[in-house]
Structure 1
Amino acid sequence: MHVMITVVGARTEHWTELFAALSDRPGVAVTLVAADVSEVSRVELGRLAERFSNFRHHIVPHLLGEKRTGHMASVLFRTDVSRYPLCPPDVVHIIGEASYLSTWQAIRSCRRRWPGVPITLYAAQNIVIRFPMPFPTIERRTYRQVDHAFPITPAALYVLRAKTYPGAASVVPLGVDTEVFRPRRVPVDGRRFTVGFVGRLEAHKGVSDLLRAAESIDCDVTFIGAGSLRPLVEQAARQRPGKVTIHPWVDHHHLPDHLSRMDVLALPSVEVVQRNVLPWVGIPLREQFGRVLVEAMACGTPVVGSDVGEIPHVIGSAGLTYPAGDWSMLADCLTRIRNDPGWAAALSASGLARVADLFSWARIAEAMCAVWSGLGDRASGDRASGELSESAPRPGQPSLAASVAHRLEAGS
C-alpha cells in the first residue's frame, strides 16, 4: 500500500514518529510532501529517509508561510503536490484542517490526477468556530471530497458533525513512540521535588499559574520551551535561584531524559481568545490534545493538567485535573503527589498502562492502515466497475464516504 501524506507548518516534526510507525509496517510505502517546515523537521525527515528505504519526502516551496500570517491555515503550496509521488498512491492522507488553504490545494491536485484515489483528513478542532470567508467555503468543499476523517478526540468528531461533515470517521488520537519514550532510571538522592513543564511559554499554557503554585509549596520547577513569557520565567529564576530553571527546546530523542527527571509533569493550560488570522475575528484557543501528557506518561512520570479542552480526556484516570486558572488547586494537586510516594507510583503505573492501551504510535498506525486498506479495496472495485470515473458523485449516486460509513455501521 502506497500512502501519500501532505503536511505544512513548523510543527511537522511532531508527526515524524507516526511516519516512522507507518514506514515500519510491512507492505507500506510512504511519500511525504511538506511545506513551510522548520529546520528540526528537515533534519528529522532526513533521518527517516536514511532509516527506511520505503519512506520518501519532498520539502516543496510555499507561499504565505506561517511566520508571515501567524496561522498554518494560510500556508499555500507553490507547486502541484501530485507531481511528487513516483507512482500513483493508493490513498492520500492530509494532515491539516478542512479550512486550510493547503488542504484544498492538495485535494484539488489529487482529484485531478487520481480521481478515484481515497482521501483521508486529520482533524483536531475542538471548538465550533465560524471562520470568515473564504474559509467556510473551503471547509464545505473539503468535506464533500474527503472519504474518511481521523479526528483526534471525541470533541473533534463532534465539531466535524456540527460543521456538516457527512462521511465516515474514526477517532484516532495523537501518539508516542514507546521505544523512545519509556521509563529511565535517574538518581534521586538529594534531589528536591521537581515539577516540569514542556511547551510554549505563552499565556494560554498557564505559565504564570505554575510559577505561583510552585512558589507556594516551595518546590522546584523546570521549564523546557520558548515563547513570549520567557522573561517572566527568567524573573522567577532570579527570585528563586536554583529552584526555577529554563531550558531551550529539545528534540524528542533527548526529551525522555528530561521527563524522567521530573517528579510530575504539569500542563496548566487556560482558554484564551487569539486574533492572529484577522484582528477583528476572535478565535477561542482551547487545548486540543496535550501531546506532552502522553509523552510524560510513557516515561512513567505522573501528570497534572487543568480541565480545559481535551486535557481531561487525554489524562483519564491516570493523573489529576483541576479547574483551569485556579493555581491554588494546582498547588494542592502537586502537594498530594509530593507527600504520597506510593500514590505517585500508582499514577505512574496507570499512565504507562494508558499509553500502552491507547497512545502507542504503532497501534495508531495499525488502525489507520486498516481504514486505508478498506478504502483502497472499495476504490479498486469501484474503478473496475467505472463508478469513480468522475471526481464527484453523480446525482443520486452515493458517495464513497457514505458507502464506507454504511459498511462500518453494519459492522462489516
Structure 2
Amino acid sequence: MPCVPPGIEVVDLKMRRGIPSPAAVVRLVRLMHRLRPVVIQTWLYHADFLGLLAARLAGRAPVVWTVRCSDMDLSRYGRLTRLVVRALARLSFLPDVVAVNAEAGRLWHERLGYRPRAWEYLPNGIDTGSFRPDDPARRAWRERLGLGRETVLVGMAARRDPMKDHAGFLDAAARLTGDVAFVLVGTGVDASDPELARLAGAVAKPVHLLGPCMDIPGFFAGLDVAVLVSFSEGFPNVVAEAMACGVPVVATDVGAVAEIIGDTGRIVPPGNPHALALVLTDVVAATPEERRRLGALARARILRHYALPTATERYHALWAQLAGQEERILEKDTPPLP
C-alpha cells in the first residue's frame, strides 16, 4: 500500500462488508493484546461498535469514537446500519471521548441520543502541498476531456451514494446554458449505472462520468467550479481540497460546509436543483478573473484554518491527554516492588 507511511502497520480483519463477524472481533482483540495500545480511536459507526467491544474484551485503553456526518437520512441505509446507530446512541456513555469534525455533527448526534462523557472537536486537515493550484494538471485534464479554451468546467468528486445526490447535480446541469461542461468522478459514478447514464443523457452539454479517480489533486486543479450537492455531510474533505487547489466551490448548506467556505464560494439549500442551477449560472457567467479571485481567497482560507498541521496538533493533544490518563491508571493498579 504505497499511501501508507513506513512504520504504519495495516491489518486486514477479513470482514465482509455488511456481515457481522465474531471471528473479526477475536482477531481484533488478539491484535490489541499484541500491540497494547495506550489509546484506541475508531472511525465511523460500525468501527465504533466493533472497536468498543474489542477494547472492553482486551483491556482498558481509552477509546475515542469518531463520527463524521450530520443530518443523515438513515432511511436511505440498510437495517444493520440503523440498528448499529441506535445501539451506539445508547452506549455512547462508554467511550472516553466522542470526536466530531463539525458542530453540526455534534448537535445531530445529540438529537439521536448520544450522551458521551466528553465531546472533542477534531477538524479535518488538508495537505495543502498536494492540494494546490497546478497549471500543468489543469491543462492535462482539459486536454483529456477535449475542452476548448473558454469552456467552463464544473465538477464533483463523490462516490455513488444516495446521500451525495448525483441526480440533483445532473438535474441542475441540464438547466445551464453557455460554454460549459461537467465531469463527475467517484466509485460507482460511470455510464454502467443506468440511472446516471439516463440523467447524463438528458443534459445538452458534455457530461463525463469517469468513475474512480486516482488523481484527485489534479482533478480539482483542472476545474473552474467545484460542486457538492449532498443531503448530509459532516466535514466534507472534497470542499476543502478543491478550495486548497484555488477553485471556488458551490455547495449545499449541510454539516460544516458554510463554515468551511465562508465568503469564498456560494451556498445553496440541499435537494433544490433549481436553486443550484441559478447559482451555477452566476458563477459560470463570471469572468475568469473573478473565479480566480474567489479561488485565491478559498486557498487562503484553507491555509489559515484547515491546514494539516492545525489538525494534527489537536489529535496529538487529545492522544497525549488520554495516554496520560492511562499511565496514571496503570501506575495506580500496579503493586509496588518488594
Q: TM-score range by the shorter chain?
A: 0.7 to 0.9
What does residue 145 of structure 2 align with?
none
Among 292, 314, 318, the alignment partner of 1:345 is: 292
Q: Which residue of 2 aligns with 1:234?
A: 197
CA contact (8 A) 2:68 2:234 kept: yes
Residue of structure 2 aligned with 1:94, choices 21, 38, 42? 42
- The RMSD of aligned alpha carbons is 3.1
Residue 322 of structure 1 corresponds to which residue in structure 2? Answer: 268
Distance 1:179 1:79, change over 3 A: farther
Q: How many matched pairs?
A: 311
Determine the C-alpha separation between the residues in 1 that align with 2:176 and 2:85. 47
Contact persistence 1:265–1:296 (CA under 8 A): yes
Shift of 1:241: 7.4
Write the deviation string for residues 192-239 of structure 1: whole angstroms up to 9, x where unpaired. Answer: 011111113455433333334333332211111325984344346556
Residue identity in the other structure for 1:107: L
2:226 is the alignment partner of 1:265: yes
* 1:250 pairs with one of 205, 213, 228: 213
Q: Which position in structure 2 is the counterpart of 1:104?
A: 49
Q: Does 1:47 pair with 2:8?
A: no
CA distance in structure 2 between the partners assigned to 1:337 and 1:137 by the alignment: 44
Question: Which has the higher mean CA deviation after the structures are superposed, 184-193 or 351-360?
Answer: 184-193
Q: Does residue 1:144 correspond to 2:93, yes or no?
A: yes
Q: CA deviation at 1:365?
A: 1.9
Task: Report if the CA contact (8 A) 1:202-1:228 is conserved.
Answer: no
Match of 2:246 in 1: 300
Look up the equivalent residue of 2:64 and give its one-letter code: T
Q: Please give the secondary structure, in 2, of the residue aligned with 1:94.
A: strand
Residue in structure 2 matched with residue 177 of structure 1 by the alignment: 127
Distance 1:363 1:47, change over 3 A: same
* Structure 2: unaligned runs, 5 residues or longer: 76-80, 143-147
SS in 1 for 2:174: helix
Show CA shifts across 1:86-145 (max 9, x none): 441121111123xx3x43332233233332x2111101242497997675444333x232
The letter of the residue matching 2:209 is: I
SS, match of residue 312 in structure 2: helix
2-structure distance, mates of 1:337, 1:376: 48
SS at match of 1:173: coil
Alignment of 1:168 onto 2:118: yes
Query: Post-superposition shift, 1:48?
Result: 4.3
Q: 1:220 to 1:288 in 2, by over 3 A?
A: same
Query: Distance between the aligned counterparts of 2:281 and 2:161, measured in 1?
Result: 25
One-letter code of the match for 2:39? V
The superposition leaves residues 321-340 of structure 1 with CA deviations (integer Å, 9 ceiling, x where unpaired) of: 12233333322322322323
Q: Is the 8 A contact 1:82 1:106 kept in 2?
A: no
- 1:374 to 2:317 alignment: no
Pick which of 159-168 and 125-134 moved more. 125-134
In structure 1, list runs of 5 or more residues that go unmatched: 1-45, 69-73, 271-285, 388-412
Do 2:174 and 2:204's aligned partners in 1 also have CA atoms closer than 8 Å? no
1:361 to 289, 308, 326: 308
Taking the aligned partners of 2:328 and 2:251, their CA distance within structure 1 comes to 47
One-letter code aligned to 2:265: G
Cα distance between partner residues in 1 of 2:269 and 2:85: 33
Q: Which residue of 2 aligns with 1:57?
A: 10
Q: Quickly say closer, same or farther: Cα 1:87–1:239, change in 2 above 3 A.
A: closer
> Is 1:222 aligned with 2:183?
yes
1:261-319 C-alpha deviation (Å, 9 max, x unpaired): 1100111234xxxxxxxxxxxxxxx2333321111111111100122444323323221
> Which residue in 2 is equivalent to 1:335?
281
Instruction: Flag the structure with more relative contact order, 1 or 2, with Cα contacts below 8 A and sequence separation at least 6.
Output: 2
SS in 2 for 1:56: coil
* Residues 234-258 of structure 1 deviation map (CA, whole Å, 9 limit, x = unaligned): 346556677222212112xx11112
The share of aligned pairs that are identical, in percent, is 21
